[in-house]
Amino acid sequence: MTVRLLIADDHDVIRAGLRSLLHDVREIEIVGDAPDGDEAIRLARRFRPDVVLLDVRMPGVDGLGVLSQLRAELPGSSIVMFSSYDNPTYIARAVALGAAGYLVKSASKDEIVAAIHRAAAGDMLWSREGLRRVAGALSTPRATIDFDAPLTRRESEVLRQLALGLSNKEIAQALDISYETVKEHVQHILRKLGVADRTQAAVWAVRKGIA
């Protein structure tokens, strides 16, 4: 069976590299490649690929936003996140949103080809070690109940950025506030949500529809 693959990555060299890497794999047909999240959604709707290899950080709709939308619209397509970042927050959100797996861009050709075939067959690619890393976040004790101390508008903004996997420095730049102010907001968020770390907070935000 030929696997119909869609690639989404904002770096031209990555998309071209994947096309070159997979051109001699006869069982994989690349039906399209997208430079951003909006184009990835458009092409996925048009081609209905078996597998989407999806970058996490892209302009416009980010990869995790694309994942959420495509899982709702195209449940028959398996989505494998493809990232330079071995980031527990990204991994936890990908698991929570229904990705078939998560590959780092340093993966070998054999690993990428095997992942595409397994995803097309309906297999989940999550390793026991990978799930163990984010198990605490995925079982957040307060994820399904309301909390007594509501987040302020600024805390909600910080939480949305945090759920995208941004560091405190990146959040400070995005919101034009100081690094120390971000640290203080993050501490307040963790306390109010009753979670242990920022990865748990990110999963909480996904489940509440905030991010």
Where residue 47 falls among pLDDT bands split at 50, 70, 90?
A: very high
Closest C-alpha among 51, 53, 73, 50 to residue 63: 53
In the chain, residues under CATH classification 1.10.10.10 are 153-208
For domain 153-208, the CATH architecture is: Orthogonal Bundle (1.10)
Predicted local confidence at residue 113, as pLDDT: 97
Secondary structure class of 60 (helix, strand, coil) = coil
Residue with the larger pLDDT of the pair 136 and 157: 157
In the chain, residues under CATH classification 3.40.50.2300 are 3-138
Which tokens go with 185?
């907001």
Q: What is the pLDDT of residues 132-152, one digit of tens each?
A: 667 665 655 544 444 556 889
Separation of CA 198 from chain center: 15
User: Do residues 164 and 211 lie in contact, with contact meaning Cβ atoms separated by under 8 Å?
Assistant: yes
Q: What is the pLDDT of residues 181-211, one digit of tens each?
A: 999 999 999 888 888 778 778 778 877 777 6
* Positive/negative CA dihedral, 11, 12, 14, 18: positive
Compute the chain's Rg from CA coordinates.
Answer: 18
3-138 falls under which CATH superfamily?
Response regulator (3.40.50.2300)
Predicted local confidence at residue 164, as pLDDT: 78
Predicted local confidence at residue 144, as pLDDT: 44
